[in-house]
């Protein structure tokens, strides 16, 4: 027995723990955190929303740990380390993503060694973590309740069970309880990097609960610790922001946050710096400056697509809630949906907003198109062909189409919902094909179907990243029936230039009957827009503007 204890402890347990430590250190170097959300307590993937059975990740380090754990059970059965062996098997399977198997190992350990309180508590802790990864939150919460009762009997605070319980409270949005649990876990934790991580999460929770003074203290502690550079940077960023909120002074871009841009090490975080400046201006209700900085953030987001999506979302929300520019909001919601991961907290609501605003966009586009057709129809017949040819001639800008959507969104002259066109001025940007809103919608529709694809050979191949699923736009009303037909002239790719010009010329309202039909489309569109503002968006002021515009015309 003594020999088995000796060899089990030093040949297997010790070496397995060294391997697990090395694995976790490697994970720390490669794990990608999203600092726009509350960080997870451990370096774990997000819980599975839908259960998918996938093969375990092959990993030699973890396979070696499993081999050593099985060797103890099979060859050192008289040793005192069988419980440790089962814990090793559970941990290795957990890290490989085998959460069902891991949970069974931890369950067996907890039941078999329940008289050993520390072993029982740690087994229940890992079992709860496994169930949380499987998204069995109710069951995991019951496991944690049992574990905490046992910890009370132990009369000693173990940091990891407290941190796991804090993670559950974060999922449950019980942040104040999570704060208390993390404070205790930090005091008792031996592992330095975990302690730093928990300190950052504690600061995030305190900021969210508007406990700015303590949040500032904890961000400062993280900044002064041996944190990984990315965490150090975000702690510094948040500390500056929180200090500004505490003191109540208005942020000076050049002296405070933007001073971080002078440090070359922060070059990759330029987008996040501008985003935080925008957040401060938004809190001060200086929405124009907020939007400017969100736009700068989006322009600088060349690597971090999540940050770009969040910046787009903020701009969309500002235009929807504050500026009442629903067409611009729609374009930004579209861009957000195309980039944002589907597991984002409010993803479904964002998609719904974009779908609803498509209703407005379609009708404003139709009005612009009909106005253009009428304007060209009023020209002398001898001038129409040249004007149509000129309008339909491919523009140089088409060569840079991949950038058009973002450029038009960030342009200060982005069209608002007032897209009425004077019949006497049928030239310029009011023409449908020169309409930034229409172009933006076209690129949005393309990306919904095909995704963010580079202009290259064989771009249609299905092996490439799949496109965003097509969102079904809100249908209904008199205008909806005419949208498809009126869009026929917008698909020149399938036709030669002469055919497109002929189609366009045939659509011109050149007689009273066609003019009346065109006018009726415009009237129906305005009525449906006003009704949508009033009934769906509850924006009576904007509805009145639409009615007045219709009366003016």
SS (H, E, C) 119-160: HHHHHHHHHHHHHHHCCCHHHHHHHHHHHHHHHHHHCCCCHH
Strand, helix or coil for residue 380: coil
pLDDT beneath 70, residues of the chain: 1, 49-57, 249-256, 394-495
Nearest to 66 by CA among 47, 40, 85: 85
Pick the closest to residue 116 from 148, 153, 164 (CA basis). Answer: 153
The reported pTM is 0.62
For residues 239 and 203, what is the distance between their CA atoms, to the nearest angstrom?
10
Closest CA to 452 of 344, 345, 309: 309
- 3-class DSSP state of 113: coil
Res 284: pLDDT: 82
Which two structure tokens, joined as six digits, stand for 468?
């965003």
Domain extents in the chain? 351-508
List Cα–Cα distances, 258 to 228, 241, 293, in angstroms: 22, 12, 11
Residue 431's SS3 state is coil
φ/ψ (deg, to 5) at 345: -50, -45
C-alpha span between 99 and 132 (Å, rounded): 9
Q: How many CB atoms lie within 10 A of CB 413?
A: 8
Rounded distance between C-alpha atoms, residue 59 and residue 495, angstroms: 54
Closest CA to 372 of 521, 235, 213, 270: 521
Which pLDDT score is estimated for 463? 40
pLDDT recorded at residue 57: 60
- pLDDT, residue 491, reads 47
Handedness of CA 270, 274, 275, 277 (dihedral sign): positive
Helix (H) or strand (E) holding 365: helix 347-377
Residue pLDDT, tens place only, 259-315: 888 888 888 889 988 998 888 888 888 999 999 999 999 999 888 888 899 999 999
Predicted confidence at residue 539, as pLDDT, reads 81
At residue 4, the pLDDT reads 77
For residue 479, give both structure tokens: 């205008």
CA 469 to chain centre: 16
Provide DSSP, 466-535. PPPPPPPPP--HHHHHHHHHHGGGG-GGGS-HHHHHHHHHHTS--SHHHHHHHHHHHHHHHHHHHHHHHH
Q: Could you give the maximum distance between any two Cα atoms of the chain, in Å?
A: 107
Residue 389 CB neighbour total at 10 angstroms: 15
184 in Cβ contact with 165 (< 8 Å)? no
pLDDT at 351: 87
Range list of H helices, 227-325? 229-247, 270-283, 287-300, 305-321
Return the SS3 of 181.
Answer: helix
pLDDT value for 324 = 80
| Buried-exposed string 195-233: b where 16+ CB fall within 10 A, e elsewhere | bbbbbbbbbbbbbeeebbebbbbbbbbbbebebeeebbb
Task: Determine the Cα–Cα distance for residues 37 and 522; give it in Å rounded to an integer.
Answer: 45
| DSSP code at position 432 | G
CB atoms within 10 A of CB 145: 13
Q: DSSP code of 189?
A: -
Provide the pLDDT for residue 10: 77
Exposed/middle/buried for 39, CB within 10 Å: 0-12, 13-18, 19+?
A: middle
pLDDT number for residue 257: 74
Residue 161 to residues 24, 33, 144, 145, 232, Cα–Cα distance (Å)? 18, 22, 8, 11, 26
State the chain's mean pLDDT as an integer: 81
By C-alpha distance, which of 238, 312, 298, 320 is closest to 538? 320
Q: Distance between CA 5 and CA 477 in Å, rounded?
A: 80
Q: What is the pLDDT of residues 212-234, one digit of tens each?
A: 999 999 999 999 999 998 899 99
Residue 526 has a pLDDT of 92
8 A C-beta contact, residue 410 and residue 299: yes
Instruction: Enumerate helices (H) and strands (E) in the chain, giving the number of each.
Output: 24, 0
Task: Note the pLDDT of residue 398.
Answer: 36
Rounded CA Rg of the chain: 30
Q: Are 354 and 339 in contact (CB under 8 A)?
A: no
pLDDT tens-place string over residues 62-79: 999 999 999 989 988 878
pLDDT of residue 420: 38
Taking the alpha carbons of 216, 221, 222, 224 in that order, is the dihedral positive or negative?
Answer: positive
User: What tokens were used for 340?
Assistant: 């944002």
């Amino acid at each position: 027995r003594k020999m088995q204890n000796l060899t089990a402890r030093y040949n297997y347990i010790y070496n397995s723990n060294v391997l697990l430590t090395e694995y976790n250190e490697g994970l720390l170097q490669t794990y990608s955190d999203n600092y726009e959300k509350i960080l997870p307590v451990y370096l774990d993937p997000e819980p599975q929303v839908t259960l998918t059975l996938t093969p375990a990740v092959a990993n030699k380090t973890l396979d070696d740990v499993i081999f050593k754990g099985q060797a103890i059970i099979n060859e050192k059965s008289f040793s005192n380390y069988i419980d440790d062996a089962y814990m090793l098997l559970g941990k290795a399977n957990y890290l490989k993503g085998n959460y069902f198997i891991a949970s069974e190992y931890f369950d067996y350990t907890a039941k078999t060694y329940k008289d050993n309180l520390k072993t029982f508590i740690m087994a229940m802790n890992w079992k709860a973590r496994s169930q949380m990864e499987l998204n069995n939150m109710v069951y995991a919460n019951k496991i944690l309740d049992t574990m905490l009762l046992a910890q009370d009997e132990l009369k000693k605070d173990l940091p990891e069970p407290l941190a796991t319980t804090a993670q559950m409270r974060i999922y449950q949005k019980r942040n104040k309880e999570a704060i208390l649990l993390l404070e205790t876990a930090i005091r008792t934790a031996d592992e330095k990097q975990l302690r730093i991580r928990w300190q950052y999460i504690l600061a995030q929770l305190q900021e969210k609960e508007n406990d700015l003074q303590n949040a500032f203290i904890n961000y400062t502690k993280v900044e002064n610790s041996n944190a990984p550079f990315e965490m150090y940077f975000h702690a510094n960023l948040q500390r500056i922001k929180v200090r500004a909120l505490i003191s109540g002074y208005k942020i000076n871009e050049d002296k405070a946050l933007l001073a971080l841009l002078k440090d070359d090490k922060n070059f990759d975080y330029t987008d996040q710096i501008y985003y935080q400046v925008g957040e401060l201006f938004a809190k001060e209700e200086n929405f124009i400056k907020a939007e400017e900085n969100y736009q700068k953030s989006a322009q600088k987001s060349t690597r971090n697509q999540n940050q770009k999506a969040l910046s787009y979302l903020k701009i969309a929300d500002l235009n929807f809630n504050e500026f009442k520019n629903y067409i611009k909001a729609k374009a930004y919601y579209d861009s957000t949906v195309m980039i944002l991961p589907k597991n984002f907290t409010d993803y479904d609501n964002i998609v719904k907003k974009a779908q609803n605003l498509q209703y407005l966009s379609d009708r404003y586009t139709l009005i612009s198109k009909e106005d253009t057709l009428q304007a060209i129809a009023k020209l002398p017949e001898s001038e129409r062909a040249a004007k149509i040819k000129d309008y339909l001639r491919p523009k140089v800008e088409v060569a840079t189409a991949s950038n058009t959507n973002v450029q038009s969104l960030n342009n200060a002259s982005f069209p608002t919902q007032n897209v009425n066109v004077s019949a006497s001025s049928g030239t310029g940007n009011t023409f449908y094909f020169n309409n930034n809103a229409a172009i933006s919608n076209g690129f949005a529709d393309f990306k919904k179907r095909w995704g963010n694809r580079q202009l290259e050979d064989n771009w249609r191949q299905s092996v490439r990243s799949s496109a965003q699923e097509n969102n079904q736009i809100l249908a209904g009303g008199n205008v909806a029936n005419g949208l498809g037909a009126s869009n026929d002239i917008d698909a020149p790719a399938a036709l030669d230039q002469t055919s497109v010009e002929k189609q366009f010329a045939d659509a011109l309202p050149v007689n009273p009957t066609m003019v009346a039909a065109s006018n009726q489309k415009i009237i129906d569109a305005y009525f449906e827009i006003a009704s949508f503002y009033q009934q769906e968006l509850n924006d009576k002021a904007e509805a009145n503007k639409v009615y007045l515009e219709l009366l003016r015309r």
